[in-house]
Amino acid sequence: MHVSTESAPAGAGARLPLHRQLYAQVLVAIALGALLGHFEPAFAEQLKPLGDAFIKLVKMIIAPVIFLTIVTGVAGMTQLSKVGRVFGKAMIYFLFFSTLALVVGMVVAHLVQPGAGMNIDPAQLDAKAVHDYAEKAHELTLTGFLLDIIPGTLVGAFVSGNILQVLLIAALFGIALAMTGDRGRPVLDLLEALTVPVFKLVHLLMKAAPIGAFGAIAFTIGKYGIESLTNLAWLVGTFYVSSLLFVLVVLGTVARLCGFSVLRLARYLKAELLLVLGTSSSESALPSLMEKMEKAGCEKSVVGLVVPTGYSFNLDGTNIYMTLAALFIAQATNTDLTLGQQITLLLVAMLSSKGAAGVTGAGFITLAATLSVVPTVPVAGMALILGVDRFMSECRSLTNFIGNAVATVVVSRWEGALDRQKLDRALGGGAADGETLLESPLPARAD
């Protein structure tokens, strides 16, 4: 039964039976998919289209969600200078913590030495196995990336689905709409009205999340098998522990300094995190992340600017992976790197990582791009980690997702655009925490 948000007390209608909550359904789907992949690998591999179809469904709605959120948020700003200020603060945050993540991966690789003692001869590695990734990596040039932010036509961004292109068009259109004044009010009212059915569509699509997670995890386990982890368990374990420590220590400290708990934030986003885990794609939860961060007290305009931008510029998990994996390959192939070469590797990784979106395989491609610029480490060495990269993709996506959620709250606080009461209620287990995208009522819009 639908409960009106105007008459119901906070939290009414939010407490659903466990079997109807999205996170529980996705968790069960992941478990069933893993079991099927282990015991019936041949059949499980054929379920890949289920995961692919769900991710495509979500990507279909990402562009409208970003456009409507940013345009209505920017057009409603009383000071247009706030747009540049929010973007500037977000980029400073992204640059600092993305670089820190690269350093963390490099330091951990030196301390743990996950590739030491493998004594692999690079000449005996199968370079053909990573040829396709290396070819794609050549497309990740800095100039090409920057030019690609500008779409060929005004509607071209919506056709290609490029997040940064949509963000650029939305920000420019929002600014133009704000400068139009009262004459632009009917257009703004129309876009605000469109936001309601678009987010309702997001809710409908999320009902298919358990099916998508089931198909994706079944394919992963069926194709690669749990046993493929045994040979490189030390590398995979090192990466998972490093990412966990980064979230708990680094992001946890930032969160505490800003007056909230990263663990409570993760609990608030548990349904989305499980969805990211099941699909290995942080994009699968982008629309619901934007909605939930707004419900948690972050101003719409800040959410609209920070979250989509962070999906290309704030990839903490990908950055930890890149330097850790690069040094793992160097250690495994007995390739000695000087301090200067390691600094060069760090700088190249800093640039190449900015062109990666939070989707499956992007981390592996950007690693190939980095190693192709720093030829001291053999690119063919990537064949060593190809078999377990899919299992590390989940951790990359989860860390990226949490990093962007933290960034949204932090930038909102810096900008004075954070409703602390809403945040405390959401992270404390109030109405927003209990809601799922299956049954949560649409927020009432105050004009």
Within 10 Å of residue 416's Cβ, how many Cβ atoms? Answer: 9
- Of 253, 298, 296, nearest to 272 by C-alpha is 296
Measured CA to CA, the distance from residue 253 to residue 406 in angstroms comes to: 11
On whether residue 333 sits in a domain, the answer given is: yes
> What pLDDT sits at residue 161?
72
Residues 6+ apart with CB under 8 A from 304: 66, 69, 70, 73, 74, 170, 290
Between the alpha carbon of residue 287 and those of residues 58, 164, 292, 435, the distances in Å are 8, 15, 9, 15
| Cβ contact 415:86 at 8 Å | yes
| Cβ contact 407:314 at 8 Å | yes
Instruction: Give the dihedral sign, CA 74/142/243/256.
Output: negative
> What pLDDT sits at residue 398?
92
Residue 195 pairs with which residues in a beta bridge? none
Report the CATH number at residue 242. 1.10.3860.10
| Cβ contact 419:297 at 8 Å | yes
Task: Please give the tally of structural domains in the chain.
Answer: 1
On whether residue 2 sits in a domain, the answer given is: no
> What pLDDT sits at residue 13?
42
On whether residue 439 sits in a domain, the answer given is: no
> What pLDDT sits at residue 69?
86
On whether residue 236 sits in a domain, the answer given is: yes
- Reading the chain (447 residues) residue by residue, the pLDDT tens digits are 333 333 333 444 446 677 777 778 888 988 899 899 889 889 998 998 998 888 888 888 888 888 888 888 888 776 667 788 888 899 999 989 999 999 999 999 999 988 887 777 766 665 555 555 555 544 555 566 667 778 888 888 888 777 778 888 988 898 898 888 888 889 989 998 998 898 888 888 888 889 988 988 888 888 877 766 666 788 889 999 999 999 999 999 999 999 999 999 999 999 899 988 888 888 888 888 988 999 999 998 889 889 888 887 888 998 999 899 889 888 888 888 888 888 888 887 877 666 554 444 566 777 777 777 677 777 777 777 876 777 788 898 899 999 999 999 999 999 888 999 999 999 985 444 344 443 343 333 333
On whether residue 11 sits in a domain, the answer given is: no
Range of the domain at 229: 18-434
On whether residue 443 sits in a domain, the answer given is: no
Alpha helices of 76-184 — where are they, by DSSP H?
81-112, 131-137, 142-148, 156-160, 163-180
What's the pTM?
Answer: 0.78
- Of 190, 179, 238, nearest to 395 by C-alpha is 238
Measured CA to CA, the distance from residue 263 to residue 401 in angstroms comes to: 13
> What pLDDT sits at residue 253?
96
On whether residue 330 sits in a domain, the answer given is: yes
- Of 53, 60, 361, 359, nearest to 211 by C-alpha is 53
Measured CA to CA, the distance from residue 424 to residue 363 in angstroms comes to: 34
> What pLDDT sits at residue 82?
78
On whether residue 370 sits in a domain, the answer given is: yes
